[in-house]
Amino acid sequence: MNSTLKNTETGPEFNRETLDLVNKIIKRYPEGRQKSALLPVLHIAQAENQGWLSSETMEYVASLLDIQPIEVFEVASFYSMFNLQPVGNCVIEVCQTGPCMLKGSEEILAHFENRLGIKAGETTADGKFTIKTVECLAACGNAPVLQVGTEYHENLTTQKADELLDKWKAENKISHTNPYL
């Protein structure tokens, strides 16, 4: 198996450590069923490639699992957590479904939009932030809720939104990190 060190400038290849993780995951399924690893591996591939899946990345994932690139694309295009276009370093995903709406999620979304000067679905010019609206995150008791990477932030207020945004700005937050680590 290819053990090329990851170089995000030139290609989507995983480093040795990530390849070991992928191989460990493939072993969870019966012989010949390695396609089952597709969702876990796409999560990893996206995290390791600036938070989105290019054609090149999907072709690489196909080669790792010995399946056709079209099989990867048809899956990647189905699931809303996979981005097929570039995103900002920090993707802020604000829930807009009923229970969050009842507790003021529109105000939270508008607050992020105003502070960053972009609308949901857009990325700031400096490439640092993307705002996305998402459907129910299943944390409705602590609505309103948002997600950044694998972190949930709950019981949001505009004040809490400000604190989070200031923190993310200060630390140059990157939301796409390997979710298994």
Partner 1 sequence: MAEQILLKNIDVPGLASYEVYRKLGGYSSVEKALKNYTPDQVTSEVTKSGLRGRGGAGFPAGMKWGFIDKKTNNPRYFVCNFDESEPGTFKDRHIGQLNPHQLIEGMILGSYALGARTSYIYIRGELFYVLRIIEKAIAEAYKNGFLGENIKGSGYSLDLYCQPGAGAYICGEETALLESLEGKRGNPRIKPPFPAVVGLYGCPTVVNNVETIAALPWIINNGGEAYSAIGIGNSKGTKLISACGHINKPGIYEIELGLPVEEFIYSDEYCGGIRHDHTLKAVVAGGSSVPILPAHLILKTAEGKPRLMSYESLSEGGFQSGTMLGSGGFIVMDETTCIVKNLLTFAKFYHHESCGQCSPCREGTGWMEKILHRIESGHGTMKDIDLLVDISKHIEGNTICPLGDAAAWPVASAIRHFREEFEEHVKLQKCPF
**Interface ranges with partner 1 (CB under 8 A):** 28, 30, 33, 35-40, 42-43, 65, 67, 71, 74-75, 78-82, 96-99, 101-103, 134-143, 147, 150-152, 179-180
Smallest gap from Cβ 179 to partner 1, in A, equals 4
C-alpha neighbours within 13 Å on the C-beta side of residue 30? 0
Smallest gap from Cβ 4 to partner 1, in A, equals 24
β-strands 90-95, 146-148 pairing: antiparallel
Is the Cβ of residue 19 or residue 21 nearer to partner 1 in the bound state?
21
What's the CA gap between 151 and 154, in Å, rounded? 10
Is the Cβ of residue 19 or residue 39 nearer to partner 1 in the bound state?
39
Is the Cβ of residue 30 or residue 121 nearer to partner 1 in the bound state?
30
Which residues lie across from 141 on neighbouring strands?
none
Smallest gap from Cβ 75 to partner 1, in A, equals 6
Smallest gap from Cβ 7 to partner 1, in A, equals 25
3-state secondary structure of 104: coil
Smallest gap from Cβ 29 to partner 1, in A, equals 8
Residue 53's contacts (CB-CB under 8 Å, 6 or more residues apart) are: 42, 45, 46, 61, 76, 82, 83, 84
Is the Cβ of residue 9 or residue 31 nearer to partner 1 in the bound state?
31
β-strands 90-95, 129-134 pairing: parallel
Is the Cβ of residue 142 or residue 158 nearer to partner 1 in the bound state?
142
Phi, psi of 34 (to 5 degrees): -65, -15
Q: Taking the CA atoms of 133, 80, 137 and 173 in sequence, report the sign of the dihedral they define.
A: negative
